[in-house]
Structure 1
Amino acid sequence: MSTIPSLDQALADTAGHGPLVEALSTLFEASPILQEHLAPQVAKTLQSQIVASYSDLIDLTLDTIQSGWDDNLKAQFIEGHPRIGEVNNLSHLSSKEQAAVATPPEVLARLGHLNACYGYRYPGLRYITFVNGRSRAAIMEEMEDVLGIPRSLSATDPVVESIGQVEVGSEAWKTELERAVGDVGKIAKSRLRALGVE
């Protein structure tokens, strides 16, 4: 079971290396970019901002990312989240969110292929979506829609290189990056509710 430090403990972490990192890692997933860049930046911002709730802290964190980070840092941040359909090395909350039990193997195989297709279409990005209680099969269909490919349970169709590629930094690539960052924020708010914290 996941826990989170008290808000007072997180806010008192002026260096961004202790309870604040722990809190942000619980809400956003632990990653090197979170530990090395995000938490220290949020800690610095907290010295001049009033935060009354964890929801406020999530908003401040997202604002730090959206207003102060370049696309490369944002892409590294979303890489901290597991791919849809992964079943190993998931945090407790990711496992719960992705409904790790009772997913047919053919759906997991298809999701693996769709992740490869998505990574080819959007170089340097990982598909992130706010699952919101939906099954992996439902997310599989969402990914097919995003990629513009027919419904299937094939683990090999279409050929990855056949789906087309968008240029890194193009409007389509940036739109997908910003959507992913926004969904990470929705996931964090959902995790907060699941933890029973305000």
Structure 2
Amino acid sequence: MSNALHQSPSGPDSALSNALSILFEPSPVLHTKLAPELHPLLQSSSKPVSTYAELIDLAVEHIYTWDQDSQARFISGHPRIGENKNLSKLSAQEQNATPSPGGARVTPPEVLARLAHLNACYEKRYPGLIYIVFVNGRTRAAVAELIESQLGLEHSLSPDSPVLDSIQPVQVGGEEWASELNRAVGDVGLIAKSRLKTMGLN
């Protein structure tokens, strides 16, 4: 890991902010809170960090100490599952789809429509959160089934079932909401570790 991450200032254009943006996806809270708070920890001898994997572990451990609103704003830096626009190169690779005969990855439109509806259902169920999961090689169709399981829905390719108004939200900050936030932060860490392998780093 570059010494510049330890030594550079912690502004939005610093080496540390840039590295964190690649590993975790850029977001305002990453630049204004995570990078500035990690910078002194990296310089401290009590928290020696010599690899990107250790940087990810330190970052996730630190994010867990934040208030829930800050954690939710952090995970919202990731794109929704199934989104095709404004994706970073790594996010586009991770949004795993079904390979076509020519080798390109193409997700059937009905799966994308289902995912868009499931994302809306999830966000109705868990106000202030977006669905984050470590895809780990699964297709978007398989991820749609994960969201359905999370929401207690039967498998379907319907683009509008169940009716969004039928989804009952859980209490923000309550046990179920907090548990889902906690899982999402952990999965962001798993995604970042997977990116290291993609980039051939450690």
TM-score range with shorter-chain normalisation? over 0.9
1:24 matched residue in structure 2: 20
Listed as ranges, the gaps of 5+ residues in structure 2 are 98-104
Partners in 2 of 1:136 and 1:185 — Cα distance? 20
Give the C-alpha shift of residue 16 in structure 1.
Answer: 4.6
1:72 matched residue in structure 2: 69
SS at match of 2:6: helix
1:66-117 CA-to-partner distances (Å, cap 9, x unmatched) read 12x1000000000000000000000000000003631000000000000000
* 8 Å CA contact 2:115, 2:144 repeated in 1: yes
1:3 matched residue in structure 2: none
Partners in 2 of 1:158 and 1:15 — Cα distance? 45
- Kindly report the root-mean-square deviation, in angstroms, between the aligned alpha carbons of the 2 structures: 1.1
Give the C-alpha shift of residue 14 in structure 1.
Answer: 3.9
Which of 58, 72, 81 is 1:60 aligned to?
Answer: 58
Give the C-alpha shift of residue 161 in structure 1.
Answer: 1.9
Q: TM-score, normalised by structure 1?
A: 0.94
1:91 matched residue in structure 2: 88
The one-letter code matched in structure 2 to 1:42 is L
Q: Percent identity?
A: 55
Which of 173, 179, 186 is 1:175 aligned to?
Answer: 179
Give the C-alpha shift of residue 15 in structure 1.
Answer: 2.6
Partners in 2 of 1:173 and 1:25 — Cα distance? 26
Q: Where in structure 2 are the equivalents of 1:107-186 lying within 5 Å? A: 107-186=111-190
Q: Where in structure 2 are the equivalents of 1:31-46 lying within 5 Å? A: 31-46=27-42
1:10 matched residue in structure 2: 5
The one-letter code matched in structure 2 to 1:152 is S
Q: TM-score, normalised by structure 2?
A: 0.92
